[in-house]
Amino acid sequence: MTRSGPGRRIVAGADDGWYLEDAVPGAVLRHPHGRTIGAGEHVWLAWVSDNASDLHGNADRASRGAFGGPVVLGALSVAIVAGLAAPATGSPRTWTPARLTGWQRIRLVRPVVAGDTLRAESTIVGAVGRASADGGLVQRMIAGLDQHGETVLVIEETCWAPRRDPSDKGLLTSFTPTAMVPPNGQAPR
């Protein structure tokens, strides 16, 4: 699914996560990795979480249902997409419980089945950081996409993202300053 258009900027992902400087309102961060869900993973999670629904764990019965087979638990799909879209961790000294702000809303849009490969894209809604802070809060909408580029879930969250450490000149990510400048030309604060 293409998400570019007037006033929007696509920014490629980086292997070590993304930083506050990458969180330009309107930017779309395409996170670089994907994850294929194995046939036994969702059945195991249904079992350990005591979810007795035939939709998730009874292949015979689920094959006669609306989806033609077992559907992956939404909790597993959300956990995978959230992990794929995680920001860089920053320095261990910067993490505090107050910075774990959480999800505001989760919507499961389409079913996910075993064998689907999930990817993540984050649309930045807003970012707040102070010049002296080592990071800031970012509001974003994470889209979980399947291997066909179809949106399967959406997570709305506010999360903390670290600033890049200026001393790590050799560890710059693939987010480049020219790619981060939005169409209005204003840089993040």
C-alpha distances out from residue 55 to 74, 110, 123, Å: 12, 14, 31
The pLDDT of residue 172 is 36
pLDDT in tens, 8-66: 445 554 456 888 888 899 999 999 999 999 988 888 888 888 888 888 878 888 889 89
pTM metric for this prediction: 0.76
Backbone angles phi, psi at 94, to 5 degrees: -90, -10
Q: What is the pLDDT of residues 99-146, one digit of tens each?
A: 667 889 999 999 999 999 999 999 999 988 765 578 888 999 999 999
161-170 mean pLDDT = 68
Amino acid 105: pLDDT: 96
Can you tell me the mean pLDDT for 146-172? 81
69-85 pLDDT, tens digit per residue, is 889 999 999 999 999 99
Residue 174 has pLDDT above 60, yes or no: no
| CA distance linking residue 14 with residue 59, whole number of Å | 38
Q: Under 8 Å CB-to-CB from 26, ≥6 apart: which residues?
A: 7, 8, 9, 123, 124, 182, 183
Which CATH code is given to the segment(s) 9-37+72-180?
3.10.129.10
E strand intervals along 31-68: 35-36
Q: Would you list the domain boundaries of the chain?
A: 9-37+72-180
